[in-house]
A and B are shown apart, each in its own frame.
Chain A
């Protein structure tokens, strides 16, 4: 669960990134977060992952109060999150299996647990044939599946996908979105940050639209529900 109440964020250089953000994402929801560059999407992600903290207002993520969280608690917050990036961020010197197992190993999981969990997640994202291959030997879509598997491996409550289809062609993008939807139906909350209008409109999901650090729409009406003029600005 993510709850932001009247959140303001002013960076050290004076940039006002967020100007009074209010929203709540309940457990099990699938939400798109959309908006042009500089609208505050990245700031919201960083507030959720604990890379930055709000200047004003309250942020609660998976029962962690981000206004009061201690530095030593951050790893435990992050274990309840799975983050996926546009550029995949895989380790080139490790195989698909090792990239996924790595995320378990560094939080102290046993080899037994790793051997049990990794094949299950690999199967879930449909990468059974490439476990021994390195990221460079995979297509963009396959690399993103590895990143999704890594995000899922520690069984997080919330998956945050930051432009997950930005580097993929439309067919692969759709596959990734279908996979994220499948993960959502298995009970994980999913938050997708994207620019892709067609993709968003193919799924009837809640869309939070940001502009200039404010929420300009929040509902089930698809992308750019605020009006056509606004939609043009986003391109």
Chain B
């Protein structure tokens, strides 16, 4: 029992020392601390903004995908009953989420609605048209394969799919995702580099102190911890400030989009829906950069 108390007291004493030294160092090197927090905020803000952009583009494409449909025309010799009986076969094709039957009459009515002013359609008989299905897809990147499968169904004479549109969507999504990913990776390296250099400057300032610590027999971990605490606090502070800034920025941009800048048809993801993920990612990156940056910075001083 006494042994455990002794260990707890010793750990608490060390913890107290590390926190006191780490916090003290932040205030002693105010300018560098401010600079590194600023850089972390800037990097996280850019990373966050691009990730949110990618998320929104993804969502917009998802919405457009829902509206993207394939038109399947049935042989004109099939009766309506025979045409309707194909629904099960078409629904069973992979990647098909739902199907909607449109009879010749319904198709003609919608044509007439569309071209009210034209007298050409007035005497048109519904038999000149074909029964058709509107087929909705799960993944538009597989549109070509689904089109091929639909065309193989007995009784299907024509399949209309807007392949070029689906390819366009996929291309946009891929570009946005790739750019975001690249930016996140580059900014991660930049913030790590800046954080490491900030701590390196602090350690350079304290090299005499570190040399004395080594000389009197302080262990490497004892020397390292105050710097890790310093990096951790700076990373945490940067992450929280970046989160608040991201929140404000997102609200500002999204409210401008909604309140009509010609982009009002786009619905953006509400920040509240993703805030927890943004906060968690910012904290993870901020703390990671802070801790890893300080470990990298102090490494050289601990060799002797």
Contacts and interface: CB of A to CB of B under 8 A. Distances in A.
Interface stretch (A102-110, A170-178, A216-224): A102-110
B13 interface: yes
Interface string B209-233: 1011111111110110000000000
Contacts of A76: 217
A83 B215 contact: yes
B217 A75 contact: yes
Interface in A82-103: 83, 89, 91, 102-103
B17 interface: yes
Given A89-B208, A91-B208, A91-B209, A150 B216 contact: yes
Contacts of A77: 217
Interface residues of A, number: 23
Interface in B177-223: 208-209, 211-220, 222-223
Q: Most chain-B Cβ atoms within 10 A of its Cβ — which of A51, A79, A106, A108?
A: A106
A96 B10 CA distance: 25
A69 to B, nearest CB: 13
B13 A106 contact: no
Given A105-B17, A108-B10, A108-B14, A89 B212 contact: yes
B216 A107 contact: yes
B17 to A, nearest CB: 7
B212 A103 contact: yes
Interface residues of B, number: 20
A174 B178 CA distance: 74
B216 A51 contact: no
B209 A79 contact: no
Contact of A108 (B214, B220, B222): B222
Contact of A79 (B10, B211, B217): B217
A89 B208 CA distance: 8
Interface string B277-304: 0000000000000000000000000001
A182 B13 CA distance: 34
A110 B215 contact: no
A78 interface: yes
Contact of B212 (A49, A75, A102): A102
B220 to A, nearest CB: 8
A106 B216 contact: yes
Contact of A106 (B9, B208, B213): B213
Contacts of B304: 51
A154 B217 CA distance: 10
A100 to B, nearest CB: 10
A103 B208 CA distance: 13
Q: Most chain-A CB neighbours within 10 Å: which of B208, B211, B217, B219?
A: B217
Interface string B126-145: 00000000000000000000
B25 to A, nearest CB: 12
Interface string B9-30: 1100110010000000000000
Contact of B218 (A75, A81, A110): A75
Contact of B216 (A72, A79, A110, A111): A79
B216 A154 contact: yes
A81 B217 CA distance: 9
Given A75-B220, A111-B13, 16 more contacts: A51-B304, A72-B219, A75-B219, A76-B217, A78-B214, A78-B215, A89-B211, A103-B216, A106-B213, A106-B216, A106-B218, A106-B223, A107-B216, A108-B10, A110-B9, A154-B217
Interface of A: 49, 51, 72, 75-81, 83, 89, 91, 102-103, 105-108, 110-111, 150, 154
26 contacts: A51-B304, A72-B220, A75-B217, A75-B219, A76-B217, A77-B217, A78-B214, A78-B216, A83-B215, A89-B208, A89-B215, A91-B208, A103-B212, A103-B216, A105-B17, A106-B216, A107-B216, A107-B217, A107-B218, A108-B222, A110-B9, A110-B10, A110-B13, A150-B216, A154-B216, A154-B217
Task: Report, nearest first, the 8 A-B pairs whose CB atoms are least far apart.
Answer: A79-B217, A78-B217, A106-B218, A103-B216, A75-B217, A75-B219, A106-B213, A107-B217
